[in-house]
Structure 1
């Protein structure tokens, strides 16, 4: 019978702390960013004490936490951008002062969209479309406590827009976007099916955030002294190497100015409009 697959392997008390070790916080009340950590400090740094007792780690988030924190905002921003574009097209035809996207978005949350449209004195057909778009923006910017409610907000917000698509198509698209990082993860994350015995519900290593733990605060086995973390497993070598490589690439990349990205997006939108 074939042995069940797992990205981790178990380690004994005598095994020293090494890169790829998975740590679990002793305090169950810590934030999700500190609950489970992956040791990134190099083995040679441990061997020669180059790390000065500071163990560099990256957080391991549950799949639901990662999708809610990192992917839902991306989907929301894309959908809000579409609604804002629709409103701006209507306002461009009306005799109203120029309003930035940022202000339009804030306004949608500050006042009822119907009141906003009355202030703008839009014609009836345009007024209805604008109310629908602003209501959609207002709903998407609402607070959601978890992934399920976050998805529900995105779905319902699209259904109250003008000419809404079918519910099943909306749900299918949102779910498809949430599935994307599993098979094609961004450069700063990687999916892991399990990180230790009893921890097999799916996790994402989020490699853009760094956490540091004092080595004396880590227990490698049963201990009477007070510690903050205990080691619960070690990643298999192939996964350790893949995670460390991704971790390095995150901090080697060169960021470009926000103004460049905005102008780049503008050129992309103009190109699309020329073929309509």
Structure 2
């Protein structure tokens, strides 16, 4: 069912203290609390309104953390891209090392990927070449190139923060293509954020004039906070017990969709691989028996 009401805004400012805390309220932790507890600055209350109205929550509300687009990309998107590059290059270098190993064919076990990664992390590509007893310039160059590509992938994986990660990842994309490495990475990020977000991510463009950068509510991580520590008006922020203040309220249909999607994250039930294999086999058997002359 598609919502047919007003769609020009997702939230309204809610900081006047006239309405009690409710599901869909957006609050911002005070800067000193964020710094000391290392938490995202924003959260959205997901405790049901009926539990709040009847005081069934015992003074504790559940909320999902909210990341800015930049922070979400740095924490969840870019590391996955870096992992894919790392895994591909590690697999390639491990295969190359075992292929060139002069002890290949003996009872010696092939080198594991973890050992090759540790070798490259140490920065001593020359040790790999010496171990392999490589003399041919072509083989030496192949190992050096593969090791450097893996080193770039590890550097991107170890980078912290959106800017540092972005810069490190650009070294992993191909040069000489129609698009620059930076543009290739931008396209990859754009596809992951606008193509189809994971089911545990919910996009919200704005929480009011002070929060317009674009945000992602991370539904897989449900946390708790004491309702008495969330100020619903400016005057309550003067209390020493306050750690956050309400800044907005998520409007329909967005609040309904967020809670529905939250339920879907934890209600999904995976089925055994054998079940999928049986289905594939039976469908294949059906198709193999039909349409034959």
Unaligned runs of at least 5 residues, structure 2 = 1-5, 104-108, 278-293
Measured in 2, the distance between the counterparts of 1:88 and 1:67 equals 30
2:59 to 53, 56, 59: 53
Q: Is residue 76 of structure 1 aligned with residue 79 of structure 2?
A: no
Task: Tell me the residue number matched to 1:198.
Answer: 210
Task: Tell me the residue number matched to 2:280.
Answer: none
CA RMSD for the aligned pairs?
2.6
- Counterparts in 2 of 1:228 and 1:134: CA distance versus 1, 3 Å: same
Task: Tell me the residue number matched to 1:22.
Answer: 26
Unaligned runs of at least 5 residues, structure 1 = 265-276
Secondary structure at the aligned position of 2:39 is classed as helix
Cα drift, residue 203 of structure 1: 1.0
Greater CA deviation, 118-127 or 208-217?
A: 118-127
Task: Tell me the residue number matched to 2:267.
Answer: 252
Alignment check: 8 A CA contact 1:54 1:213 kept: yes
Measured in 2, the distance between the counterparts of 1:29 and 1:23 equals 13
Q: How does 1:4-153 map to 2 (within 5 A)?
A: 5-11=8-14, 12-28=16-32, 30=34, 33-95=39-101, 96=103, 97-122=109-134, 123-142=136-155, 143-153=158-168
Greater CA deviation, 248-257 or 184-193?
A: 248-257
Measured in 1, the distance between the counterparts of 2:257 and 2:118 equals 41
Q: Is residue 225 of structure 1 aligned with residue 228 of structure 2?
A: no
Alignment check: 8 A CA contact 1:63 1:203 kept: yes
Measured in 1, the distance between the counterparts of 2:223 and 2:145 equals 43
Measured in 2, the distance between the counterparts of 1:144 and 1:77 equals 12
Measured in 2, the distance between the counterparts of 1:241 and 1:126 equals 60
Measured in 2, the distance between the counterparts of 1:81 and 1:145 equals 19
How many residues are aligned here?
A: 253
Q: Encode CA deviations 1:206-262: one digit per residue, 9 max, x unaligned.
A: 1111221101101110224221111000011211111112222222234689xx8xx
Alignment check: 8 A CA contact 1:90 1:126 kept: no
Q: Encode CA deviations 1:192-212: one digit per residue, 9 max, x unaligned.
A: 111233100111111111221
Structure 1 length as normaliser, TM-score?
0.82
Measured in 2, the distance between the counterparts of 1:13 and 1:235 equals 16
- Counterparts in 2 of 1:245 and 1:130: CA distance versus 1, 3 Å: farther
Indicate the structure (1 or 2) with the bigger Cα radius of gyration.
Answer: 2
- Counterparts in 2 of 1:211 and 1:34: CA distance versus 1, 3 Å: farther
- Counterparts in 2 of 1:64 and 1:92: CA distance versus 1, 3 Å: same
Secondary structure at the aligned position of 2:206 is classed as coil
Q: Encode CA deviations 1:7-46: one digit per residue, 9 max, x unaligned.
A: 1112341111111100011234515634111111111110
Cα drift, residue 173 of structure 1: 2.8
- Counterparts in 2 of 1:26 and 1:193: CA distance versus 1, 3 Å: same
Alignment check: 8 A CA contact 2:24 2:45 kept: yes
Measured in 2, the distance between the counterparts of 1:126 and 1:81 equals 22
Measured in 2, the distance between the counterparts of 1:110 and 1:249 equals 44
